[in-house]
Structure 1
Amino acid sequence: MHRTKKQKQPRRRKLAACAGVGLAPLLVLGLTSTPAEAHGWITNPASRQEQCARGVVSCGSIKWEPQSVEGPKGLKDCAGGNERFADLRDDNKGWRVTDVGSSTDFNWKFTARHRTTNWQYFIGNTKIAEIGGGGAQPPETVSHHVDFRGFTGKQKVLAVWNIADTANAFYACVDVNIRG
């Protein structure tokens, strides 16, 4: 049986409607999801992004996404090379400084737990600690005991979470006053 042009149009409309219904969820997911930018930060002592999230210091968009300071591995930048979070590299922004002894514990919170190569801690260009991750996925929170031997006074600690499953790392800066 041969269909006329008029009879084919409703069938095509039905096929198009079915295809649209099937593709709609995929399109919605594709349009509303954004690439994962970062998934962890230091909550205690309060990192710069934690201070932004709490409203301690007035910041830009980092206020709503403290976990999102991600950039290529190997940077020495509080903003992880991300211009959206440039506030984090401004040393004159009024960051609260936490008094610590000759060592302290840094507590990380993870919203996405990537397999971990290691965590590194720096003061200036000096690496003061490195904690291995063994390629494992960390729990939701992790604490590292870091020794400040050889440093005193006000210091900016750059903490880096090097993840094993991408070429990126997560960055957090913490302002401390080391009282030895």
Structure 2
Amino acid sequence: MKKTKLGLSLLALLAASNAWSHGYVSEPASRGYSCTAAMGNLNTQCGAVQYEPQSVEGHDGFPAYQVQGSGGGIVHAPKDGEIAGAGLASMSPLNAQSESRWYKQSMKAGKQTFTWTFTAPHRTKDWRYYITKPDWNPNKPLTRASFDTKPFCVIDGKNQIPPLGKSQPHECNVPERDGYQVILATWDVGDTDATFYNVIDVDFGGHNHPGDDAGNDNDTPPNNPDGDNDDAVTPPHPDDDNGVELPVPGEYPGWKQGHQYKGGEIVRGRDGKLYQCKSTNGANGWCGLNHAYEPGSGWAWSEAWTLR
């Protein structure tokens, strides 16, 4: 009996560990990877990402705000101001933004290579690379308005599973820029509604010249993932989440271990904040599995829940 329980515990731990491991941009080093001991802690005061650079995982859709998920429900890409941390509370230190906050990698326009390091297998839709506009303001939070919403490079994943370890370098033609810029690299996983978001702080030399972007911080994100700003999306009404009718504020229940949560259900964590069960992980039972996934406090909670 003791051996059986020990075996089950080990299997559960391995499953949780695999769920918490995915991939990150290692060359040039992403903001999160630059926080790690492997990179000499070039960035400091980074929070959880210094131990988990492979876990900056959010929902599909960028630069749109909402898209239809594979299960038919609505999934939301990270909000403006939360792009660098993929909308995860555990990765929120990455959202800090100023001209001097982060270590910068040298960059030149023209042909450059980008390399990911993968720690868990996933089928891949594509990798996309975006860059901040010439007149972006590095002392304001990163928003969709900060970036050219049309990627400067797209690598087709062909729904294949990349091998573990370093990827084949992605060869991309980087646009002309001056001074400090941010490159956003996204890895759209083909077998879930997840996308990994890695920002790379780069320096082209010289200085950029921020324009007057007053009023852009609250622009409605575009609905067209190809970057044509013809359409806009209004964030959904609270009753639109996967068909789940949400109770009025104050009536959300507390989280219960073992409860079979459905995608879209909302609970109140012990910290008083509201958390929504991710559609894909509601189906596999993670949202109520054990205290590792307890919203806001479990070490792997952001794999199953989204902070509302």
More deviation, 140-149/112-121: 140-149
1:46 aligns to what SS in structure 2?
A: coil
Query: For residue 115 of structure 1, what is the amino acid of its counterpart?
Result: R
* Cα separation, partners in 2 of 1:117 and 1:57, compared to 1, 3 Å: same
Equivalent residue for 1:47?
A: 30
In 2, Cα distance between equivalents of 1:148 and 1:169: 22
1:178 to partner: Cα distance: 2.9
Deviation at 1:117, TM superposition (A): 0.5
Equivalent residue number for residue 156 of structure 2:
132
Partner in structure 1 of residue 242 of structure 2: none
Counterparts of 1:145 and 1:32, CA distance in 2: 35
Residue 153 of structure 1 and its aligned partner are, at CA, apart by 2.9
Computed over aligned residues only, the root mean square deviation of the Cα atoms, in angstroms, reads: 2.3
Pairing partner for 1:78 from 84, 95, 101: 84
Q: Which has the higher helix share?
A: 1
Indicate the SS of the match to 1:41.
strand
What is the TM-score with the length of structure 2 in the denominator? Answer: 0.48
Does the alignment pair 1:69 with 2:76?
A: no
Q: Is the 8 A contact 1:37 1:70 kept in 2?
A: no
Q: Are 2:130 and 1:105 equivalent residues in the alignment?
A: no
Deviation at 1:37, TM superposition (A): 3.7
Helix, strand or coil at the partner of 2:53: coil
Note if contact 1:121-1:129 (Cα within 8 Å) is conserved in structure 2: yes
1 or 2 for the larger relative contact order (CA 8 Å, sep ≥6)? Answer: 1
Partner of 1:12: none
Q: Deviations over 1:139-161 (max 9, x none)?
A: 33221122122433321111000
Q: In structure 2, do the counterparts of structure 1 residues 144 and 28 end up closer, same or farther at CA, with 3 Å as the change threshold?
A: closer
Among 10, 29, 37, which residue is 2:11 paired with?
29
**So what's the TM-score if we normalise by structure 1?**
0.79
Letter in 2 for 1:56: L
1:137-176 map, 5 Å: 137-139=161-163, 140-142=165-167, 143-176=169-202
Give how far 1:56 is off.
Answer: 1.2
Shift of 1:119: 0.1
1:96 maps to what in 2? Answer: 103
Q: 1:61 corresponds to which letter in structure 2?
A: A
Gaps of 5+ in 2: 62-76, 132-146, 206-308
Task: Give ranges in structure 1 of 5+ residues lacking alignment.
Answer: 1-17
8 Å CA contact retained: 1:60, 1:87: yes
- Structure of larger gyration radius: 1
More deviation, 43-52/26-35? 26-35
Q: Deviations over 1:38-93 (max 9, x none)?
A: 41001111111111113111111111111111111123611111110111121236
Separation of aligned partners in 1, 2:3 and 2:106:
58
Pick which of 161-170 and 146-155 moved more.
146-155
Q: Which residue of 2 aligns with 1:56?
A: 42
Structure 1 residues 32 and 130: CA distance shift in structure 2, 3 A: closer
SS in 1 for 2:54: coil
1:1-56 Cα distance to aligned partner (Å, 9 max, x none): xxxxxxxxxxxxxxxxx5x6534422453367527144100111111111111311
